[in-house]
Chains A and B, each alone.
Chain A
């Protein structure tokens, strides 16, 4: 019945206006069956509103949303085959963990024995066996997070929506949950749509990413496409750090004043009279600032034509003593032409 080429979710020119504010502005998007898809953007960029419209908590002002080819734009949440993991987990405080996880099945009228069997399978999947009798208030943030995941997955939804689910966890736990979420997604094979403002999280976990800004999708692509070939200054700046070069400095390098971006880690730092290769671009500059960061060092280099570039070098041989003396020295920067990304603007 569902053709494999039918997208899991399709946005057909979807807009959501709140009064004068266009929270989501003519978004067109296809999310493939079984993919781990991230919606990345700063707060207020419209990514969460998009997620809420897929869940049914919000309706598009204009346009249509399709779930495996079916128009769901006007269906209430309880008639959609999607489930959500909420940012604050939204566990029912008056129910045990068992009852929380079993909630969807209980509503569907699944018999109790079957319900308990599946609850136990789910608690095993999220590595919380034996926690069923507890109350949500007796669990830690990370554990609640897993319960919320189990409660959503037990219904075998066609699409699982995750609204910044790792936002409230500390860094260690977040990194651990990123790996775990990804592996659970691969095991259950359900389409995951993951909303986050954390670019690192999106890059680590996703098959594809949509970058949102001001209600619009700026770029859709794989993590490497988004990182290596940002389509706009916004993407270049939001995903990782990037040097944006334009005007006179750009003209000296590429022959055109059009803005381009170059990632700090792609730039090599050489001495002022180092040799050059023809695939390489060389620019002379002066080190204006040095920050020693342990694992690597960050330099701020002013190049000819008056633009500041951030350069990051791993501390393979250098120590803090060496790098801090680099301030004020003349240097030559090298990078491969392929690493330049024209970003327009």
Chain B
């Protein structure tokens, strides 16, 4: 009986494929794309200002609200934060990823990879609130800066209106620090994986042909690790774009996209506007991926 089933499946490989891929495909189509689609549909509805009820009729008016001055600012603020976090994470991640991939002994490599991923084992919320304490006015970071007698520099930095605040915990700088910390593993791992696949002989060949270490870095290592940097940046950029917890816990009262979406669909009850706001990051990511593909980031995948 079992034997006959095996033979039957052996003769019909498409059936096996269907059975294996069917459930995840249905999940993807219904739950994932379905919810995206309902988001898209909702974003073309509008709310009746008087009754507060959703009017299920096609309109562009909700999208028009996105381009109000206040909402435009939210988009620019969030996208700038995501860009800076991505760039700084790439700079921080590269040397460590390079060390793990090319220099660390197998034992050291295991330890470092564990160290990089350990933060992901603990709750995201706990880590964010831990940072709130670290960054607080009486927190350990201020204490340490005091110890180094750099409090003047910190105060100067916090005095800038756009990025400063009364303390690190209540400023965009603090928020940036927490974002950069919390997404860093998502940048390290893809870069490390990309570098791992660069054969050591390529670096030797470059050096053999006369290239000094910096030239080898520019002409061989960086181009070959670039897909990894792009992969990592997709994580850091999109995760920052959509996050709504860090902007609540850290920083000032100015809204980020995630927060705006959260409040529109919650207290304001304006589902169409929340849906339209959500389409913002989706469009930004699609554009970002298209540009990345243009740059050849996916050629090596």
A-to-B contact residues, CB < 8 Å: 55-57, 76-78, 82-84, 86-88, 90-94, 103-104, 107-108, 151-152, 155
Binds A, one of B127-135, B198-206, B248-256: B198-206
Q: With A88-B199, A94-B224 given, is the CB distance from A103 to B209 under 8 Å?
A: yes
Let me know if B49 is at the binding interface, CB within 8 A. no
Interfacial chain A residues near B208, Cβ < 8 Å: 55-57, 77-78, 82-84, 152
Taking the closest CB of chain B, its distance from the CB of A147, in whole angstroms, is 12
Closest to A87 in B: B201
Most chain B CB atoms below 10 A, which of A55, A57, A87: A57
Contact B209 A155, beta carbon cutoff 8 Å? yes
Task: Please count how many residues in chain B sit with their CB below 8 Å of the partner chain's CB atoms.
Answer: 18
Interfacial chain A residues near B219, Cβ < 8 Å: 103, 107
Contact among A90, A94, A152 with B201 in the assembled complex (CB-CB below 8 Å): A90
Contact B211 A107, beta carbon cutoff 8 Å? yes
Contact A94 B223, beta carbon cutoff 8 Å? yes
Contact A77 B202, beta carbon cutoff 8 Å? no
Let me know if B207 is at the binding interface, CB within 8 A. yes
Interfacial chain B residues near A103, Cβ < 8 Å: 206, 209, 211, 219
Interfacial chain A residues near B223, Cβ < 8 Å: 94
Q: With A78-B212, A107-B215 given, is the CB distance from A90 to B202 under 8 Å?
A: yes
Let me know if B177 is at the binding interface, CB within 8 A. no
Closest to B204 in A: A57
**How distant is the Cα of A86 from the Cα of B205 in the complex, in angstroms?**
8
CB contact list, B207-223 vs A, under 8 A: 207-212, 215, 219-220, 223
A55-B208, A94-B300 given; name 14 further pairs at CB < 8 Å: A55-B204, A76-B207, A77-B207, A78-B210, A82-B208, A83-B209, A84-B204, A84-B205, A87-B201, A90-B201, A92-B205, A94-B224, A104-B210, A107-B209
Contact B209 A104, beta carbon cutoff 8 Å? yes
Most chain A CB atoms below 10 A, which of B202, B205, B206, B224: B205
Interfacial chain B residues near A86, Cβ < 8 Å: 201, 204-205
Taking the closest CB of chain B, its distance from the CB of A72, in whole angstroms, is 13
Contact A107 B210, beta carbon cutoff 8 Å? yes
Closest to A77 in B: B207
Q: With A107-B209, A107-B215, A151-B209 given, is the CB distance from A90 to B220 under 8 Å?
A: no
**How distant is the Cα of A82 from the Cα of B204 in the complex, in angstroms?**
13
**How distant is the Cα of A77 from the Cα of B216 in the complex, in angstroms?**
12
Contact among A56, A78, A84, A93 with B224 in the assembled complex (CB-CB below 8 Å): A93
Most chain B CB atoms below 10 A, which of A77, A87, A108: A77
Interfacial chain B residues near A94, Cβ < 8 Å: 223-224, 300
Taking the closest CB of chain A, its distance from the CB of B106, in whole angstroms, is 16
Taking the closest CB of chain B, its distance from the CB of A102, in whole angstroms, is 10
Interfacial chain B residues near A107, Cβ < 8 Å: 209-211, 215, 219
Taking the closest CB of chain B, its distance from the CB of A52, in whole angstroms, is 9
Contact among B202, B204, B207, B300 with A92 in the assembled complex (CB-CB below 8 Å): B202
Taking the closest CB of chain B, its distance from the CB of A55, in whole angstroms, is 6
Taking the closest CB of chain B, its distance from the CB of A83, in whole angstroms, is 6
Interfacial chain A residues near B210, Cβ < 8 Å: 78, 104, 107-108, 155
**How distant is the Cα of A78 from the Cα of B224 in the complex, in angstroms?**
21
Interfacial chain B residues near A83, Cβ < 8 Å: 208-209
Contact A77 B204, beta carbon cutoff 8 Å? yes
Contact B201 A88, beta carbon cutoff 8 Å? yes
Contact among B204, B211, B224, B300 with A90 in the assembled complex (CB-CB below 8 Å): B204
Taking the closest CB of chain B, its distance from the CB of A24, in whole angstroms, is 18
Taking the closest CB of chain A, its distance from the CB of B120, in whole angstroms, is 31
Taking the closest CB of chain B, its distance from the CB of A329, in whole angstroms, is 55
Sampled A-B contacts (24; CB under 8 Å) = A55-B208, A57-B207, A77-B204, A78-B208, A78-B210, A78-B212, A82-B208, A86-B204, A92-B205, A92-B220, A93-B224, A93-B300, A94-B223, A94-B224, A94-B300, A104-B209, A107-B209, A107-B211, A107-B215, A107-B219, A151-B209, A152-B208, A155-B209, A155-B210
Taking the closest CB of chain B, its distance from the CB of A144, in whole angstroms, is 12
**How distant is the Cα of A94 from the Cα of B206 in the complex, in angstroms?**
13
**How distant is the Cα of A78 from the Cα of B206 in the complex, in angstroms?**
8
Interfacial chain A residues near B206, Cβ < 8 Å: 92, 103
**How distant is the Cα of A78 from the Cα of B211 in the complex, in angstroms?**
6
**How distant is the Cα of A82 from the Cα of B208 in the complex, in angstroms?**
8
Interfacial chain B residues near A88, Cβ < 8 Å: 199, 201
Taking the closest CB of chain A, its distance from the CB of B203, in whole angstroms, is 9
**How distant is the Cα of A92 from the Cα of B202 in the complex, in angstroms?**
7
Taking the closest CB of chain A, its distance from the CB of B198, in whole angstroms, is 9
**How distant is the Cα of A86 from the Cα of B199 in the complex, in angstroms?**
12
Taking the closest CB of chain B, its distance from the CB of A122, in whole angstroms, is 13
**How distant is the Cα of A77 from the Cα of B201 in the complex, in angstroms?**
13
**How distant is the Cα of A86 from the Cα of B208 in the complex, in angstroms?**
10
Interfacial chain A residues near B199, Cβ < 8 Å: 88, 90
**How distant is the Cα of A265 from the Cα of B201 in the complex, in angstroms?**
42
Taking the closest CB of chain B, its distance from the CB of A308, in whole angstroms, is 44
Interfacial chain A residues near B220, Cβ < 8 Å: 92
**How distant is the Cα of A5 from the Cα of B267 in the complex, in angstroms?**
91
Contact among B201, B207, B300 with A78 in the assembled complex (CB-CB below 8 Å): B207
**How distant is the Cα of A70 from the Cα of B220 in the complex, in angstroms?**
30
**How distant is the Cα of A276 from the Cα of B220 in the complex, in angstroms?**
70
Taking the closest CB of chain B, its distance from the CB of A7, in whole angstroms, is 21
**How distant is the Cα of A306 from the Cα of B224 in the complex, in angstroms?**
63
Closest to A151 in B: B209
Taking the closest CB of chain A, its distance from the CB of B62, in whole angstroms, is 45
Taking the closest CB of chain B, its distance from the CB of A326, in whole angstroms, is 52
Taking the closest CB of chain A, its distance from the CB of B245, in whole angstroms, is 39
**How distant is the Cα of A91 from the Cα of B199 in the complex, in angstroms?**
10
Interfacial chain B residues near A92, Cβ < 8 Å: 202, 205-206, 220
Interfacial chain A residues near B300, Cβ < 8 Å: 93-94
